[in-house]
Amino acid sequence: MKLTNRKTALIAGAAAVAAFAVPAVANHAWSNYHWERTGDAVTVPVIDNTTGIWAQRNHTGLAVADWNQSPVIDAPLLRGNADPSCAGVANQINVCNDDYGNTGWLGIASISISRGRSSHITAGITKLNDYYFNQPQYNNDTWRQLVTCQEIGHDYGLGHQNEDFSTDLTTSCMEYTSQPAGNESPDAHDYEQLLDIYAHSDGGSGGPGGGKGGGKKFDAGNHPSNWGQAIAFDAKGRPNVYRRVQGNEIIVTHVTWAIGEGPSHDH
């Protein structure tokens, strides 16, 4: 697979501007989680199960196109069966929306990792909660695009550039902010970070990086009681990363809480 001139030019410039564009953040990888890469790029398909305005406005498609600007991401966008349960399926990223209820969260990203090979992602999901997106504060394309972009970014192994909702330090979707306009897409530092995360190839052919589908891996659930132990906290002290063990898999969930929602800091 050959890289396009557009993608190559974009990333060549990204490294040069990232240090100036985001002075507050040097590294925002999500631990060492990453898909196994066996070729030029990770080609794990993104399955769009969204319905209603999410599908009409093509929020998943726009986010996939943005992340595909990275030379190490080349994800096919496929239409799914609109199942809102959004089970994790091996070698896929599933994106779903539904009214998941008064849970406190706008979106979650969950990934599975095989135990004993703890850095390789084997399945990913993004869930978008219409309970909040139907409320006036969040019922707009700007918020929907920011959260869709952010959760899929987590599914590729990115963390947040900034976790303080009272600030707006970047133009990246990988930021907590109460001012979402201008933060609907990745920025140069996100693309630079992906280059770092996927700097090595695992060799061979096929495999997770080749996007071959597989069986069901996990259900993420909709509540902290489903997600396991809190292992990280945002600037407000709310737990925003959870970890649980399920058989031979480790399930890690990243949560985007609605402003003013979410549990208190509790180790």
Q: What is the 3-state secondary structure (H, E, C) of the chain?
A: CCCCHHHHHHHHHHHHHHHHHCCCCCCCECCCCEECCCCCCECCCEEECCCHHHHHCCHHHHHHHHHCCCCCECCCEEECCCCCCCCEECCCEEEEEECCCCCCEEEEEEEEEECCCCCEEEEEEEEEEHHHHCCCCCCCHHHHHHHHHHHHHHHCCECCCECCCCCCCCCECCECCCCCCCCCECCHHHHHHHHHHCCCCCCCCCCHHHCCCCCEEECCCCCHHHHCEEEEECCCCCEEEEEEEECCEEEEEEEEECCCCCCCCCC
What's the pLDDT tens digit per position in 41-87?
999 999 999 999 999 999 999 999 999 999 999 999 999 999 999 99
Domain ranges of the chain: 5-257
pTM of the model: 0.87
Q: In the chain, what's the furthest Cα-to-Cα distance?
A: 49
Tell me the percentage of the chain whose pLDDT exceeds 70. 84
Phi-psi region of 226 (alpha: psi -120 to 50; beta: other; left: phi over 0): alpha
What's the pLDDT tens digit per position in 200-221?
887 644 444 544 557 888 999 9
Higher pLDDT, 171 or 163: 171
Q: Is the pLDDT of residue 10 over 70?
A: no
Q: Is the pLDDT of residue 23 over 50?
A: no
pLDDT for position 212: 52
What's the pLDDT tens digit per position in 106-136?
999 999 998 875 579 999 999 999 999 999 9
State the Cα–Cα distance between residues 52 and 105, nearest whole angstrom: 19
Question: In terms of CATH, what superfamily is 5-257?
Answer: Collagenase (Catalytic Domain) (3.40.390.10)
Q: Is the pLDDT of residue 169 over 80?
A: yes
pLDDT for position 200: 83
pLDDT for position 168: 87
